[in-house]
């Protein structure tokens, strides 16, 4: 698991992240330039009478181009280093002034793409797992939770977002359509569940996030103001996968939270992997076949381990690895109007196929459902999805 070094102060954030991206991209472009030039000069140096001048020109070319790229590399480093100092003195992420929805979304996207690197480099943009309310992280202490949720009862529902998202994804836009609703508010109104929203670094390995979540849930149950509470977990996409990983952790450890947990609902979670990430892995392999395009392959391989984990997924949930006391529900979507149509499996919901979302090797209180005419992100706010959740909870 990527851990922050306590003796290393947090880096500025966007400036330091941008500095790394610019400098690494410059190096990759320089490598491509060298590969292309070397291939051309290699031909010329083998031609009689031309080989001497060609070698001279190549030496001059290499010297000039190296100087240009060095200037870009160090110039960008200096400029963004100065921006880093300004950012540290004027724009930190504080509880008193949390970032807005747009800034929060950008930060979550960066964590999805490079979250493991951000955490390893102790960049302040690396997201720590926490409950968030109105953009502010909450402390898992009874007094803090009671203050944040004064009307809280014994029923709580934890919403876990997917890759590169944050808690805002569970809320419809400013002008929701008739087909949209906010699941948290609906569950609170109809069943008395207090909606809680988790934010976490989606770039970390799924297994690491699952281990963090298993411990986090224990802290939550012990800190919740109402004793003997009932917990329902709803995870979208990667969120469902880390919830299942937490269940695996709890099945072999002495955690208390499983005794309070009623149900785990996975919406569009790619248990068997996502074809989009498999395509990305294939593209990476193709790029590495040529010296000229290999630098682009290096850029592609820089994506986070969290993204790479979605290539094959953790596999279909296995009864032997899961908590026997929980009810499990799996929902898959399809862009095709008929979720059972052959084309439905080909297109899926745009990111995850229905079989990847619903296949399992489990017995007991386990149910699956499919919906047609719905995209991956629509699973977060669609009224049909809520009705299915509602039916499962009744």
Give a yes or no: residue 283 inside a domain.
no
The mean of the pLDDT values for the chain is 79
On whether both 169 and 210 belong to a single domain, the answer is: yes
- Angstrom distance (rounded) from CA 58 to CA 143: 70
Whether the Cβ atoms of residue 293 and residue 267 lie closer than 8 Å to each other: no
Q: Are residues 79 and 185 in the same domain?
A: no
- 40 and 167: one domain? no
Domain at 187, CATH number: 3.40.50.1820
Report if residue 236 sits inside a domain: yes
Please check whether residue 201 lies inside any domain of the structure: yes
Q: Judge whether residue 76 has pLDDT over 80.
A: no
**What digits encode the pLDDT tens for the residues 17-32?**
555 555 555 555 555 5
Q: What domain count does the chain have?
A: 2
Overall size of the chain counted in residues: 394
| Residue 217 φ/ψ, nearest 5 degrees | -65, -35
The sign one gets for the Cα dihedral 28, 30, 36, 39 is negative
DSSP H stretches of helix in 100-233: 101-120, 142-148, 183-191, 206-223
For residue 26, the model assigns a pLDDT of: 52
Write the CB contacts of 160 (distance below 8 Å, at least 6 apart in sequence): 198, 200, 213, 233, 234, 235, 236, 239, 240, 242, 243
Average pLDDT over residues 213-228: 96
Whether pLDDT at 45 is above 70: no
| Residue 194, pLDDT score | 98
- 158 within a domain of the structure (yes/no): yes
pLDDT band at 292 (very low <50, low <70, confident <90, very high): very low
Model confidence band, residue 51 (pLDDT cutoffs 50, 70, 90): low
Same domain, residue pair 23 and 154 = no
Write the pLDDT tens digit of every residue in 230-252: 999 999 999 999 999 999 999 87
User: Residue 373 — φ and ψ, nearest 5°?
Assistant: 65, 40
Look at the block and give the residue holding tokens 């010329």: 44
Contact 267, 234 (CB under 8 A): yes
Instruction: Determine the pLDDT at residue 87.
Output: 45
Is 355 part of any domain? yes
What is the average per-residue pLDDT within 192-205?
A: 97
Q: Based on the fold, state whether residues 165 and 314 are members of the same structural domain.
A: yes
The domain boundary, picked from 95, 113, 138, lies at 95
- According to the model, what pLDDT value does residue 342 have? 81
Q: Which pLDDT score is estimated for 165?
A: 94
pLDDT one-digit tens code per residue, 127-183: 999 999 999 999 999 999 999 999 999 999 999 999 999 999 999 987 888 999 999
Q: Are residues 141 and 243 in the same domain?
A: yes
- Among residues 355, 360, 374, 244, which one has the least CA distance to residue 309? 244
* Average confidence (pLDDT) over 49-61: 57
**Taking the chain, what is the end-to-end CA distance rounded to the nearest angstrom?**
39
The pLDDT of residue 121 is 84
Residue 381 lies in a domain: yes
**Per-residue confidence at 35, pLDDT binned at 50, 70, 90?**
low
Window from 2-6, 345-349, 362-366 with minimum mean pLDDT: 2-6
Same domain (yes/no): 250, 150: yes
- Give 188 or 273, the one with higher predicted confidence: 188
pLDDT confidence bin for 89, thresholds 50/70/90? very low
341 in the same domain as 200: yes
- Shared domain for 37 and 138, answered yes or no, is no
Identify whether residues 161 and 205 lie together within a single domain: yes
pLDDT tens digit string along 205-218?
999 999 999 999 99
Task: Tell whether 195 and 65 lie within a shared domain.
Answer: no
Quick one: 341 and 194 in the same domain? yes
Q: Look at residue 223 in the predicted model and tell me its pLDDT.
A: 97
- Whether residue 302 lies inside any domain: the answer is no
Q: Is residue 110 part of a domain?
A: no
Write out the residue range of the structural domain in which residue 329 sits: 128-274+310-393
Could you tell me if 202 and 164 are in contact, meaning their C-beta atoms sit under 8 angstroms apart?
Answer: yes
pLDDT on residue 286: 44
- Mind listing the pLDDT tens digit for each residue in 99-141? 777 778 888 888 888 888 889 988 888 899 999 999 999 999 9
State the pairing for strand pair 194-199/327-334.
unpaired
pLDDT of residue 302: 56
**Whole-number CA gyration radius for the chain:** 25
């Amino acid at each position: 698991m990527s851990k922050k070094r306590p003796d290393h102060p947090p880096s500025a954030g966007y400036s330091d992240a941008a500095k790394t991206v610019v400098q690494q991209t410059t190096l990759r472009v320089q490598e491509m330039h060298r590969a292309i030039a070397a291939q051309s000069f290699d031909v010329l140096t083998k031609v009689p009478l031309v080989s001497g001048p060609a070698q001279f020109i190549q030496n001059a070319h290499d010297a000039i181009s190296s100087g240009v790229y060095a200037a870009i590399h160090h110039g960008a480093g200096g400029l963004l280093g100065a921006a880093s100092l300004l950012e540290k003195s004027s724009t930190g992420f504080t509880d008193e002034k949390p970032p807005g929805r747009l800034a929060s979304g950008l930060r979550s996207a960066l964590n999805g793409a490079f979250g493991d690197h951000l955490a390893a480099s102790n960049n302040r943009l690396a997201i720590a797992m926490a409950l968030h309310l109105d953009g502010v992280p909450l402390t898992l202490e009874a007094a803090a939770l009671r203050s944040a949720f004064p009307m809280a009862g014994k029923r709580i529902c934890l919403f876990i977002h997917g890759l590169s998202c944050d808690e805002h994804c569970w809320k419809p836009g400013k002008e929701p359509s008739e087909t949209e609703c906010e699941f948290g508010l609906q569950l609170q109104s109809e069943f008395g569940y207090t909606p809680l929203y988790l934010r976490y670094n989606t770039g970390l390995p799924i297994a690491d996030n699952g281990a963090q979540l298993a411990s986090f849930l224990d802290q939550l149950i012990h800190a919740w103001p109402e004793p003997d509470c009932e917990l329902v977990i709803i995870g979208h996409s990667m969120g469902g996968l880390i919830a299942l990983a937490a269940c695996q952790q709890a099945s072999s450890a002495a955690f208390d939270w499983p005794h309070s947990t009623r149900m785990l609902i996975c919406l569009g979670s790619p248990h068997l992997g996502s074809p989009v990430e498999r395509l990305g892995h294939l593209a990476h392999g193709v790029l590495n076949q040529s010296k000229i395009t290999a630098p682009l392959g290096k850029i592609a391989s820089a994506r986070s381990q969290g993204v790479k984990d979605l290539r094959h997924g953790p596999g279909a949930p296995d009864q032997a690895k899961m908590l026997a006391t929980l009810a499990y529900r799996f929902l898959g979507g399809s862009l095709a109007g008929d979720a059972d149509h052959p084309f439905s499996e080909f297109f899926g919901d745009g990111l995850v196929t229905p079989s990847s979302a619903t296949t399992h090797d489990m017995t007991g209180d386990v149910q699956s459902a499919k919906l047609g005419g719905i995209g991956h992100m629509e699973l977060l706010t669609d009224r049909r999805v809520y009705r299915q959740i509602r039916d499962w909870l009744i």
